[in-house]
Amino acid sequence: METLCVVAVKLNQANVHAPSHTTWGVVTCDTCKEKFAIGPSRMHGPRISAEDCAKKLEALLNEDHKQNRPHADWYEIPD
């Protein structure tokens, strides 16, 4: 994957990798307990804090559950 945004990549899946991104930490979905590594591009750097990124990801994950759709293997977290 090549993007300049902060990304969240689902752990324990083999479809998506983000080698050009560093890892800030892991966010766990409150509902289903799936885990996502979050982090910014090594080249571009973040314009959003790790805490704000985690909040945006949690909102995306909650929306997935409200819409009865499975979580994606990865998400771009807009700045």
In this prediction, residue 42 carries a pLDDT of 85
For range 33-62, the mean pLDDT: 92
Q: What is the pLDDT of residues 12-26, one digit of tens each?
A: 998 998 888 889 999
For range 38-47, the mean pLDDT: 85
Residue extents of the structural domains in the chain: 6-77
In this prediction, residue 48 carries a pLDDT of 86
* pLDDT at position 1 over 70: no
Q: Which residues of 21-36 are buried (b: 16+ CB within 10 A; e: fewer)?
A: beebeebebeeeebeb
pTM (predicted TM-score): 0.89
